[in-house]
Structure 1
Amino acid sequence: MEFFKSARTIRLRNAAHRKYLVADEDEAIVRQTSNGSVRQACWAIERVPGKPHLLRLRSCSGRYLSPTDDPYLFSISGKKVAR
């Protein structure tokens, strides 16, 4: 967590496929793209009040990235962005 102390935004990259996680403008779909310079590839880091070891990732559209147990196939859009 020390790595994120001074960070405000990050880009999430899949090292194996060299693709970035981006949130689409429709605010409901997350996908991967090779262009990490787009605005949708930036995720704001928010610290959870009272819990210094927890972080939230907020997209450019204001929705939060949330984990899921659903299987994910590469090159297929996911639908797990929550407000």
Structure 2
Amino acid sequence: MDLFQRAKAVRLRSHNEMYLLAEDDEELCQNRNGTTWKAQWQVELLDEGQPLIRLKSCFGKYLSASNEPLLHGVTRRRFFQAALGHRLDSSLEWESVRDGFQVKLKTRYGHFLRVNGGPPPWRNTVTHDILHLHMIEFSGRMILWRCNSLETGAEME
């Protein structure tokens, strides 16, 4: 949480040196170009006695975890950008879990924001899933994000 308390806006960079980008069609993707305005996420701290944040895209919508699978028959779920709306929705809230100089972003239901790689349809996608014990060694790095503060342009420590 302390990584986000000092920043009003961040860029999130994954282990594969790609940035989390918002698209104008409410989708998300990864891209190596972190200088684009689509890689900027405004940080909103929630004052609920918990280390919760919301991440707002350049399109004014929030990073939101859906229940829709990325592909039929897989456990990984899609992300999209959603408007805040009239009622609060926990799918827009993220717990930041510090891991050294990196952070894991976790939903209230234990799912982690993760990057995917490989051939299409996985290439450059972003999903969320529960990280099972047998997956930790293999995919643990896929849920780690480096936060670059837009105020200083430097990696946050």
* Fold similarity call, TM over 0.5: yes
Matched, 1:32 2:24: no
Post-superposition shift, 1:68? 3.8
Q: 1: distance between equivalents of 2:49 and 2:82? A: 20
Aligned length: 76
After superposition, the CA RMSD in angstroms is 2.0
Residue 54 of structure 1, aligned match among 14, 39, 52: 52
Q: 2: distance between equivalents of 1:65 and 1:4? A: 15
Structure 2: runs of 5 or more not aligned = 72-77, 84-157
TM-score (normalised: structure 2): 0.43
By percentage of residues, which structure has more helix? 2
Larger Rg: 2
Q: Which runs of 4+ in 1 moved over 6 A?
A: none
Post-superposition shift, 1:12? 1.0
TM-score (normalised: structure 1): 0.77
Q: 2: distance between equivalents of 1:51 and 1:33? A: 34
C-alpha contact (below 8 Å) 2:65/2:79 kept by paired residues: no
Structure 1: runs of 5 or more not aligned = 73-77
What is the percent sequence identity of the aligned residues?
A: 34
